[in-house]
């Protein structure tokens, strides 16, 4: 990123730079449940009110605050851009070497729960908007920038984005939305690949149930052990090999990466796994693998009442993710086929895959913003943007279902420390300040390009 650009941002944000904002946000414990996002929303409200930016807090439930701010033109025909992020975080868990909610700044990093998911995005969007307000004090944006830092993303968005769509849609209506959901940048030689999320796999969470007949544990042959029935089904699920499907955006992503790595064969469903096995970064390879097929992961099991009683019931909760074009019936059929007829299946949670086309002016302007912020004066490394499909779920799924065009971004520094990638939802979560500045620069530049 050009030094002059960062100096300009620094001068405009002043004391409220993104690392200071992020540090303060981390110190506000918004673990969900219960959330308590209103406290974080009040902190943002103080910042934005002081800067003279119109803002408000809308609660989906008591203590579940959603922060909204608007900057620029009120002309209904003017372009509108929505910066989205969320204020809640997952529980910290164990294994931390520092206080999860300290929000301290050490060794060039801001540390604590939410530093990567996703209070870093809240801070970057906030700092960019504050800088834009100062830059355009005498010359307003020709369009409207909307900033929404919402509640409840980690638990399904009922008190957050779903509440805003139901009750306050006009306040967040925009031509397109930028949210979380993209992979971290990937460095290959003299090229850095930045990813733009264009879609998400669907959720098909299921309960598998095996039934048997109870008996005394000393005479197991008189009963029918539901746990053993389930274990045979789980073995079949473990050996399940799903159909490989390459949607156009993922095909483009894979082909570009294969070409850069010197892969000599035309990439296809038959040789894809062999190509993925060549990647040393197994985390990134796993992401690519999951972008190309339905996945079934049995993650919780419950069965039995007592050590000396043959169990007549065993239940398993499975996390199933489906690709665009794969519906509820497809997921049920595949699951039943590999689990077997003795297993009952319920699918109480199904959210269809969501998708936004990459062949749009909005995607191209995101590419432009990333390239302008992340390219160096020397032209090295070369910046390349690629579309991707997210294997996880974000609030974008609800917005896409409501008709919004959504893209995901994760614009970190080209040389960001790779070990921080492993801390998301884990212990010792942190982000380097350099990456936080790049992220802020991206949002700042995107708004200037689109809104003038």
- In terms of pLDDT, which residue wins out, 241 or 452? 241
Confidence of residue 140 (pLDDT cuts 50, 70, 90): confident
- In terms of pLDDT, which residue wins out, 3 or 296? 296
Contact 428, 420 (CB under 8 A): no
pLDDT at 6: 62
Q: What does pLDDT average to over the chain?
A: 95
Per the omega criterion (within 30 degrees of 0), is the bond before 33 cis? yes
CB atoms within 10 A of CB 371: 15
Q: To the nearest whole percent, how much of the chain has pLDDT over 70? A: 96
Choice among 12-21, 84-93, 147-156, 186-195 with the minimum mean pLDDT: 12-21
Confidence of residue 3 (pLDDT cuts 50, 70, 90): low
- 149/138 Cα distance (integer angstroms): 26
Contact 422, 434 (CB under 8 A): no
> Average pLDDT in the 322-330 region?
97
pLDDT 10s digits, 369-409: 999 999 875 677 899 999 999 999 999 999 999 999 999 99
Contact 405, 37 (CB under 8 A): no
pLDDT at 405: 98
- 410/199 Cα distance (integer angstroms): 14
Kindly give, in sequence order, each residue whose CB lies less than 8 Å from that of residue 406, ignoring residues fewer than 6 positions away.
84, 176, 177, 178, 179, 354, 356, 396, 399, 400
Query: Is the predicted pLDDT of residue 45 greater than 60, yes or no?
Result: yes
> Average pLDDT in the 297-302 region?
98
Given the structure tokens 């079949």, which residue do they identify?
236
Contact 145, 447 (CB under 8 A): yes
pLDDT at 135: 84
Contact 198, 389 (CB under 8 A): yes
Residue 282 structure tokens: 């197994």
Judging by beta carbons within 10 Å of its beta carbon (0-12, 13-18, 19+), is residue 379 exposed, middle or buried? exposed
> Average pLDDT in the 197-226 region?
98
- 439/373 Cα distance (integer angstroms): 9
pLDDT at 452: 85
Given the structure tokens 């294997």, which residue do they identify?
391
- 409/368 Cα distance (integer angstroms): 13
Q: Rg for the chain (alpha carbons), in Å?
A: 24
- In terms of pLDDT, which residue wins out, 357 or 139? 357
Domains and CATH numbers, the chain: 3-198+354-451 (3.40.630.10), 201-351 (3.30.70.360)
Contact 424, 121 (CB under 8 A): no
- 436/444 Cα distance (integer angstroms): 12
Given the structure tokens 């960019």, which residue do they identify?
128
Per the omega criterion (within 30 degrees of 0), is the bond before 279 cis? no
Query: Is the predicted pLDDT of residue 33 greater than 70, yes or no?
Result: yes
The three-state DSSP-derived secondary structure of the chain is CCHHHHHHHHHHHCCCCHHHHHHHHHHCCCECCCCCHHHHHHHHHHHHHHCCCEEEEEECCCCCEEEEEEEECCCCCCCEEEEEEECCECCCCCCCCCCCCCCCEECCEEECCCCCCCHHHHHHHHHHHHHHHHHCCCCCCCCEEEEEEECCHHHCCCCCHHHHHHHCHHHHCCCEEEECCCCCCEEECCEEEEEEEEEECEEEEEEEEEECECCECCCHHHCECHHHHHHHHHHHHHCCCCCCCCCHHHHHHHHHHHHHCCCCCCCCCCCHHHHHCCCCCHHHHHHHHHCCCCEEEEEEEEECCCCCECCCEEEEEEEEEECCCCCHHHHHHHHHHHHCCCEEEEEEEEECCEECCCCCHHHHHHHHHHHHHHCCCCCCCEEEEEEEEECCCCCHHHHHHCCCCEEECCCCCCCCCHHHHHHCCCCCCEEEHHHHHHHHHHHHHHHHHHHC
pLDDT at 4: 60
> Average pLDDT in the 201-212 region?
97
Contact 83, 147 (CB under 8 A): yes
- 294/272 Cα distance (integer angstroms): 15
Confidence of residue 171 (pLDDT cuts 50, 70, 90): very high
| C-alpha to C-alpha distances, 447 to 160, 170, 238, 383, nearest whole angstrom | 24, 20, 47, 20
């Amino acid at each position: 990123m050009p030094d002059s650009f960062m100096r300009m941002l620094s001068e405009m944000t002043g004391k409220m730079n993104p690392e200071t904002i992020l540090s303060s946000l981390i110190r506000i414990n918004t673990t969900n449940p219960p959330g308590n996002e209103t406290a974080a929303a009040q902190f943002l409200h103080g910042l934005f009110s002081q800067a003279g930016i119109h803002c408000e807090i809308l609660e989906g439930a008591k203590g579940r605050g959603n922060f909204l701010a608007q900057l620029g033109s009120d002309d209904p025909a003017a372009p509108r851009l929505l910066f989205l992020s969320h204020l809640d975080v997952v529980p910290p868990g164990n294994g931390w070497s520092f206080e999860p909610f300290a929000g301290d700044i050490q060794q060039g990093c801001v540390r604590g729960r939410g530093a990567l998911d996703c209070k870093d995005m809240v801070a970057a969007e906030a700092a960019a908007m504050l800088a834009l307000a100062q830059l355009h004090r005498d010359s307003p944006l020709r369009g409207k920038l909307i900033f929404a830092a919402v509640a409840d993303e980690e638990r399904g968005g009922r008190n957050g984005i779903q509440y805003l769509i139901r009750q306050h849609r006009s306040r967040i209506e925009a031509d397109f939305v930028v949210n979380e959901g993209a992979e971290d940048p990937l460095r290959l030689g003299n090229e850095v690949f930045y990813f733009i999320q264009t879609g998400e796999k669907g959720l098909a969470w299921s309960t598998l149930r095996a039934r048997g007949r109870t008996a005394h544990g000393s005479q197991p042959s008189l009963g029918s052990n539901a746990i053993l029935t389930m274990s045979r089904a789980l073995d079949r699920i473990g050996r399940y090999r799903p159909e490989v499907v390459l949607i156009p955006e993922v095909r483009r992503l894979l082909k570009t990466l294969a070409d850069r790595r010197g892969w000599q064969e035309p990439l296809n469903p038959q040789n894809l796994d062999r190509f993925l096995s060549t990647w040393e970064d197994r985390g990134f390879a796993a992401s690519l693998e999951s972008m190309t097929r339905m996945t079934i992961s049995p993650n919780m099991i419950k069965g039995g009442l007592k050590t000396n009683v043959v169990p007549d019931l065993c239940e398993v909760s499975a996390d199933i993710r489906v690709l665009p074009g794969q519906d509820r019936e497809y997921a049920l059929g595949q699951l039943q086929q590999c689990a077997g007829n003795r297993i009952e299946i319920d699918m109480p949670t199904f959210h269809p895959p969501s998708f936004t086309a990459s062949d749009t002016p909005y995607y191209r302007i995101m590419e432009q913003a990333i390239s302008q912020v992340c390219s160096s004066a020397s032209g090295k490394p070369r910046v390349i943007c690629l579309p991707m499909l997210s294997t996880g779920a974000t609030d974008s799924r609800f917005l896409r279902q409501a008709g919004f065009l959504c893209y995901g971004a994760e614009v970190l520094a080209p040389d960001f420390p790779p070990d921080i990638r492993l801390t998301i939802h884990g212990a010792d979560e942190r982000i380097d300040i350099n990456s936080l500045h790049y992220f802020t620069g991206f949002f700042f530049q995107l708004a200037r390009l689109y809104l003038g």
